Structure 1
Amino acid sequence: MDLRIFTEPQQGASYDTLLTVAKATEDLGFDAFYRSDHYLRMGSGDGLPGPTDAWITLAGLARETKRIRLGTLMTAGTFRLPGVLAIQVAQVDQMSGGRVELGLGAGWFEEEHKAYGIPFPKEKFGRLEEQLAIITGLWETETGKTFSYDGTYYQLTDSPALPKPAQDKVPVLIGGHGAVRTPRLAARYADEFNIPFASIEDSEKQFGRVRDAAVAVGRAPDDLVYSNALVVCVGKNDAEVARRASAIGREVEEIKANGLAGSPDEVVDKIGRYAAIGSSRIYLQVLDLHDLDHLDLISSQVQSQLG
């Protein structure tokens, strides 16, 4: 089971804070550092010092880390034109020596679009499908040849399809709870399918839908990695768990029901139940980015038990 650290910087985090967490992620043996792609805080808090851009952040971290994978859950398709995003991701992949992964979603948080003057189109899923076709098409085009695309939302004419990523294939993540279109899109374009904040039962159903969709397009279901994103709150004792839950404005029992909370043994047991339904990677949503002792505890007493 891979454990990855997943952050939500829109709630309030500077680049220096994210760098500190990313370095701890690397030093403590976690597999990857991921971040959300949002420009406006959600819920309580002041969001200070303000939002940081996902791909600018990852570009910086690409130069300041050496081992961990770097990526987004999920880049908002509404924020960037697909040709521009293909260039950005390829460049950051080069900067990292081939450690980047692209999680791409349709975009959903209308308020952040209003706050920063970003268009929020009514039809987002169709745009996402074209974006995936364009980005993967640009990367797959042989050097020296051109790429063209004539879609409903995007048109590219004789693109040189440069630059290329450092990796032969940048892993693409698609995720969500949609019962029909999301599994179909994952089966066609994804290397990994991620379901965020879902129960074991709902995860198993959605993984099954993606597997069925893969078969329908002639793809082996096990070609995809299946993963979960879950909030995490671990403590050596009940008081420490309660303190960490309070620090992020959550109740212990609620996190136990909807995420990963409790003692290291409790969390290991629940991760095992996700593994039993096919999940091989957990993105641990860490909401208190100043509590590095939390990461240390997860590394030494949770990750160490997972092998």
Structure 2
Amino acid sequence: MARPVRFGVTLPQIKRSWQEARAAAVEFDRLGFDSVWVCDHLHSVPMPTLPIFEAWSELAAVAAITERVELGTLVTPPFFRNPAVLAKQVATIDHIAGGRTIVGLGAGWFASEFEAYGCPFPSLGARLGALEETAQVLRRLWTEERTTFEGKHCTVRDAVCEPKPVRRPPILIGGSGERRLMGIAARHADIWNNLAAFQPELGAKVEALRRRCAEVGRDFASIEVSQQCLVVVAETDDAARTGLERAQKIYGGHMGAGLEAHGIWGTPERVIDRIERHRALGCTLLVIEFFGRDTRDPARLFAEKVMPAFR
């Protein structure tokens, strides 16, 4: 049976008040989005002086004021937190949420925030190794009575994580490296997320993940493919084009590269077509950052005129 298309949306987190984040979370829940997401950075990127909420603290608060949406990070890197402590944090938040957490994991990339907070920032290979060990520690602590794990980067001795999460939280692995990262996803991920910067290459990345799954004997269909994406939606072509041009200037290469040719933008009808193109490549979860000062406005238009086409 084919997976349904699901829609996640990012919460206000950078240079926003808690009142703004709270209002958005409640509205996204009401509108019928499937999940809400935050980034996991200790300071803003690339401007560290901009205020930013800590990811799991914000999700704990959001868990208490929402009823239906799943809650996830895009993504939590190793070395910010002890993985066993992270398992305990997530289990607690999962109880507040009634079983709605998703743990997004990635290797981390912005060296200066690690250094500023006194966190190790070893080579990419070491960070990927720690990422894989983190996924192993999380899953074991959520399912075993007592856990002992001796890894190169993570050590847990006779640890108990009680209460267990309400459900075993799905693990999302985020990143676009076709060899080692996708090998980790093939072994441990429930969801794989393609970075926005690689959205034009989604088809090739999906095929790379399919190959890694074959190598480890994993059923590719058991992993949900997701895409981080900027979405510009407006009632008219002119308004959509204006929004696109502004978004490309503001976001640059991080989320704006290839947006016109490969991204999701336009009137609701055009946006539906662009989403269908992603679904044809195997992507069934979009983690959306709406373009706009108050992202509730485009989210309302999207919920009213785009989401019904996929329900």
> 2:39 matched to 1:40?
no
Residue 7 of structure 2 is matched in structure 1 by 3
The offset of 1:206, in angstroms, is 1.5
1:29 Cα offset (Å): 1.0
Q: Distance in 1 between matches of 2:180 and 2:174?
A: 11
Deviation at 1:20, TM superposition (A): 1.3
Deviation track 1:253-290 (CA, whole Å, cap 9, x = no partner) reads 95323521111111111110110011111111135352
CA distance in 2 between counterparts of 1:150 and 1:250 reads: 41
Tell me the number of residue pairs that the alignment of Structure 1 and Structure 2 aligns. 300
Partner Cα separation in structure 1 for residue 303 and residue 44 of structure 2: 28
Provide the residue aligned with 1:231 in structure 2. 230
Distance 2:136 2:199 in 1: 31
2:296 counterpart residue number: 292
Task: Tell me whether 60-69 or 247-256 shows the greater mean CA deviation.
Answer: 247-256
Distance (Å, rounded) in 1 between the aligned partners of 2:108 and 2:278: 27
CA drift of 1:8 comes to 6.2
Match of 1:188 in 2: 187
Q: 1:291 to 1:195 in 2, by over 3 A?
A: closer
Stretches of structure 1 that go unaligned for 5 or more consecutive residues are: none
Within 5 Å, give how 1:1-307 maps onto structure 2.
1-7=5-11, 9-10=13-14, 12-43=15-46, 47=50, 50-122=51-123, 123-141=126-144, 145-167=145-167, 169-197=168-196, 202-245=201-244, 246=246, 249=250, 255-288=259-292, 290-307=294-311
SS of equivalent to 2:265? strand
| 1:119-153 residue CA offsets vs partner (Å, 9 max, x unmatched) | 32332111111111111111121xxx321011112
The 3 A distance-change label for structure 1 pair 253 and 124 is closer
Greater alpha carbon shift after TM alignment, 119-128 vs 287-296: 287-296
Residues 1:62 and 1:146: Cα distance change in structure 2 (over 3 Å): same
Q: Contact (CA 8 Å) 1:9, 1:35: kept in 2 or not?
A: yes
Structural RMSD (CA): 2.3
Q: Is the 8 A contact 1:197 1:258 kept in 2?
A: no
Given the superposition, is the C-alpha separation of residues 24 and 241 from structure 1 closer, same or farther in structure 2, using an over 3 Å criterion? same
User: 1:74-125: per-residue Cα shift (whole Å, max 9, x none)?
Assistant: 1122211100100001110011000110001111111222343333233211
Please say which of residues 212-221 and 186-195 is displaced more in the overlay: 212-221
Greater CA drift, 113-122 or 81-90: 113-122
Whole-Å separation in 1 of the counterparts to 2:149 and 2:172: 22
Instruction: Check whether the contact 1:58–1:71 (CA below 8 A) recurs between aligned residues.
Output: yes
Instruction: Using the TM superposition, give the Cα deviation of residue 217 of structure 1 relative to its aligned residue in structure 2, in angstroms.
Output: 2.0
**Distance 1:216-1:124 versus aligned 2 partners, 3 A rule:** same
Task: Describe the SS at the equivalent of 1:66.
Answer: coil
> Distance between the aligned counterparts of 1:15 and 1:211, measured in 2?
40
Q: Secondary structure at the match of 2:22?
A: helix
Structure 1 runs of 4+ with >6 Å offset:
none
Q: Measure the CA separation in 2 of the matches of 1:267 and 1:286.
A: 12
- Give yes or no for contact 2:243–2:291 (8 Å, CA) kept in 1: no
CA spacing shift, 1:200–1:249, aligned 2, 3 Å? closer
Answer whether contact 1:198 1:228 (CA < 8 A) is retained.
no
Taking the aligned partners of 1:198 and 1:261, their CA distance within structure 2 comes to 16
Report the CA distance shift for 1:200/1:94 in structure 2 as closer, same or farther (over 3 A). same
Rate the CA distance shift 1:115–1:8 in 2: closer, same or farther, 3 A. farther
Three-state SS of the structure 2 residue aligned to 1:76 is coil
Amino acid at match of 1:15: W
| Structure 1 length-normalised TM | 0.90
Shift of 1:161: 3.2
Cα distance change, pair 289–45 in 1 and its aligned pair in 2 (3 A): farther
Deviation at 1:7, TM superposition (A): 3.9
Assess if the C-alpha contact under 8 Å between 1:14 and 1:52 holds in 2.
no
